[in-house]
Amino acid sequence: MTDAPHWLSPEESAAWVRLIAVTELLPTALDAQLLADAGLTHFEYVALGSLAAQPDHTMRMTALAAATNATLPRLSHVMRRLEERGLVRRFPCPEDRRATNATVTEAGLDLLDAAAPGHVAAARSAVLDALSAEQLQQLYEIAGAVLGRLDPDARLEASACQFSEGPVRRAG
């Protein structure tokens, strides 16, 4: 005998449906802005940003795949496109010739710098400016609770993000 499904309450269902709608619409909005302004998808922007955040702007492809929650084949395809544009360079890892490293080029860093203001404006417009300081704190806590279930090993950089100490101050 199997257990009966634990159906969602009306409140759970309403919250779930809204969460799914946000997760479907937000990537499209971020892609649209970045493609229009910088010719990058959001995933490409995140991959370049992950490389740029490293002290030497370099990561093993396996580490970059983990940091961006991508499969190696997907990441390799994206990195090939970025390499063709001169935004990244891939090369054998000096410590392990079986592994491949990726580094963001000066052109890639310049494109990230140019794309960042529009991306921040899109993030504000689509999400952050719709929230009060209290809701922003709640979003951080809710996303952290869910992320802890989805990324228990804290592979994604988001798992390590820390909220500021004290109350959140809103600009404007």
What pLDDT score does 170 carry?
38
Going by pLDDT thresholds of 50, 70 and 90, the confidence category of residue 3 is confident
Task: Give domain status of residue 138, yes or no.
Answer: no
Is the residue at 35 inside a domain? yes
Where does the pLDDT of residue 167 fall: very low under 50, low under 70, confident under 90, or very high at 90 and above?
A: very low
Domain contains 57: yes
Using alpha carbons only, give the angle 112, 37, 89 rounded to the nearest 5 degrees. 35
Q: Does residue 146 form part of some domain?
A: no
CATH number for position 19: 1.10.10.10
Assign 169 a pLDDT band (cuts: 50, 70, 90): very low
Report, as an integer, the average pLDDT of 12-26. 95
Q: Is residue 139 part of a domain?
A: no
Q: How far is CA 43 from CA 6, 27, 72, 92, in A?
A: 35, 9, 14, 23
Question: Looking at the domain assignment, is residue 166 inside a domain?
Answer: no
Burial of 62 (0-12, 13-18, 19+ CB in 10 A): middle
Convert the pLDDT of each residue in 56-113 to its tens digit. 999 999 999 988 989 999 999 999 999 999 999 999 999 888 899 999 999 999 999 9
Residue 36 lies in a domain: yes
Single pTM value for the model? 0.86
Question: What number is the average pLDDT over the span 2-23?
Answer: 93
- The boundaries of the domain holding residue 59 are 13-130
The count of domains in the chain is: 1
CA 6 to chain centre: 32
Mean pLDDT, residues 119-145: 95
* pLDDT exceeds cutoff 90 at 151: no
